[in-house]
Amino acid sequence: MILSPKILTHKNYNKIISLVPSQTELLCYLEMEAEVVGITKFCIHPDRWYRNKTRVGGTKNIQFETIDQISPDLIIANKEENVKEQVEKLAEKYEVWITDVNNLYDAIAMIEDIGKLLGKQGQGRELTAEIKQGFLELKKIYSTRRKIPTAYFIWKNPYMVAAGNTFINDMMNYCGLENVFADLKRYPEIMLDELVKRETELILLSSEPYPFKKKHIDEFQKDLPGIKIMLVDGEMFSWYGSRLLKSVDYFHSYLNIKDLGL
């Protein structure tokens, strides 16, 4: 059964499986150590969970037999990160909570909903209050500065970028970056010559899902000598749980636009 946010009520869940890395980290923050019994192979935070808890496959390649062996009383999934057909199959047997996060507002609502669902309302509200304050201060700083035309790459061969209606796009807006592909949807494939046409000044190469490295900066720079290129921590731009507490400090320290020379 897929749980509806309209009838969200707390139950005592004792065997929870999380199919989303950022939400797994959130569950740890909410002190659900004993209750969370299954995670994906991409749920690398916290490390002790990654090493000790049962892995049930990847976010898009769920191991149904492993989940059946656990027989969970709650599965937490996400509309974008998990495969619709796989989640629907799980919902035939188990209670499934599906989140849908496209911006900071959605992330705040998701955290508070999970807090309510798991009886952690107080911790959830305290967390969201701290996150909202951090991003409010961030927005004040960058709202008075010129936004830098930026492209955020998530994949190579083919080249793919984060476009409009994505959580990454919202994070870019908060830290003073204007997404040059904001007029497109989700994660389109693009050609490098489009960067010049869109007057891109900054390229961000994410550490995930494609693990861009220093050598890729050199490759891009050969074709785009007039554009500044940086490696960035993808978790800070795309993880929408308790990781948001760290994202604010990261944007302040690493992506300080006044120090980019742009």
Quote the Cα angle for 87-92-93, to 5°: 100
Query: Among 184-188, 221-225, 251-255, which range has the highest average pLDDT?
Result: 184-188
Whether residue 255 is predicted with pLDDT greater than 90 in this model: the reply is no
**pLDDT at residue 144 in the model:** 80
The pLDDT value recorded for residue 3 is 58
First-to-final CA distance of the chain = 51
Grade residue 4 by pLDDT with cuts at 50, 70 and 90. Answer: low
In angstroms, the CA 236 to CA 250 distance is 7
As a whole number of angstroms, the distance between CA 150 and CA 163 comes to 11
pTM attached to this predicted model: 0.91
Domains in the chain, please, with CATH? 5-100 (3.40.50.1980), 131-256 (3.40.50.1980)
Please enumerate, as own/partner, the contacts of 3-8 that have beta carbons within 8 Å and a separation of 24 or more: 3/95, 3/96, 3/97, 3/98, 3/117, 5/113, 8/113, 8/116, 8/117
pLDDT tens digits for range 74-83? 999 999 999 9
Statement: residue 6 has pLDDT above 60: no
Count of H-run helices and E-run strands, the chain: 11, 12
Reading the block at residue 139, the tokens are 């927005």
Calculate mean pLDDT across residues 105-131: 95
| 12 pLDDT more than 90 | no
- In 3-state terms the chain splits into helix, strand, coil percentages (rounded to 5) of 40, 20, 40
AA identity, residue 7: I
**pLDDT tens across 23-68, in order?**
999 999 999 999 999 999 999 999 999 999 999 999 999 999 999 9
The band of 109, judged by pLDDT with boundaries at 50, 70 and 90, is: very high
Q: What percentage of the chain carries pLDDT values higher than 70?
A: 93
**pLDDT, mean of residues 124-147:** 91
Residue 261: per-residue pLDDT:
56
Mean pLDDT of the chain: 92
Give the DSSP letter of residue 189: B
Whole-number percent of the chain with pLDDT over 90: 83
Question: Nearest to residue 183, comparing CAs of 169, 204, 196, 197?
Answer: 169
What's the Cα-to-Cα distance from 31 to each of 15, 16, 20, 46, 97, rounded to whole Å?
Answer: 14, 13, 17, 12, 18
Confidence band, pLDDT 50/70/90 cuts, at residue 140:
confident
Q: Is the pLDDT of residue 13 over 70?
A: yes
